[in-house]
Amino acid sequence: MQVPLLRLQCGCNSYEWGKLGKDSAAARFASATPQSDFSIQNDKPYAELWMGTHPSNPSKDLTTGRTLLDLVQDNQQLLSPQIAEKYANKLPFLFKVLSIQKALSIQAHPNKKLAEQLHQRDGKNYPDDNHKPEMTIAITPFDGLCGFRPLAEIVHFLKSVPSLRQLVGEQAAKSFEDTVKGQETITDETQAKKNKAALQQAFKALMQSMPEDIQQQATQLIAQAKQE
């Protein structure tokens, strides 16, 4: 059976961290769809173009106006019978084009089992029952952070950057240093768990810092850097 090629109309989400107006690739791609009623506002942020079956912003067949979810549930050949059966006639991924103007928040995604439980318990706040492994492909110049520095480097910066130590707090910083001292690259499972727990506490303390404290320490750090 020949599967038709469907032209989709994809929605664009406006979040405050998105790029403004036509500077946003997400907005430009959304407006490029023929017969689309989408128009770009120069002072509005456009963050994400979505292509998928997510109920919050489903893609639609440009010709009929039917949602992509309706189409794949009505015709298993669009996904293939194997994929349709495995993922309950739903597209098992959400394709996004992101246009990022500001730093994004740190997110924690559930695994598949927990995602299903959260969706069943509170479908309003958890509309998607899928886990969220992510793959990122940069189509314009892009800077991203992933993971943590080696433990020895974190110890070095806690000692050499007073502003960082101030935000982490003396107790959490000292506990981290004492825990990992001489054990920074250890492979022993027990010690590795201790290192991880100490890093978790230090990072938690940093992330719970008050905005005004962060601003103060950032100002001091910039002033220090200019003097060096």
Supply the pLDDT for residue 34.
Answer: 66
Supply the pLDDT for residue 186.
Answer: 77
What pTM did the predictor assign? Answer: 0.68
CA quadruple 215, 201, 126, 28: dihedral sign: positive
Q: What are phi and psi of 186, to 5 degrees?
A: -65, 145
Q: What are phi and psi of 44, to 5 degrees?
A: -110, 135
Supply the pLDDT for residue 95.
Answer: 92
Mean pLDDT, consecutive 10-residue stretches, the chain (228 aa), reads 78 94 94 79 95 89 91 88 87 90 79 89 84 82 83 94 94 93 84 92 93 93 87
Supply the pLDDT for residue 71.
Answer: 92
Class of domain 8-105: mainly beta
In the chain, where are the structural domains located? 8-105, 151-227
Helices 170-180 and 151-160 cross at an angle (nearest 10°) of: 140
Q: What burial letters (b/e) apply to 73-94, b meaning 16+ CB within 10 Å?
A: beeeebbeeeebeeeebbbebb
Would you say how long the chain is, in residues?
228
Supply the pLDDT for residue 109.
Answer: 78
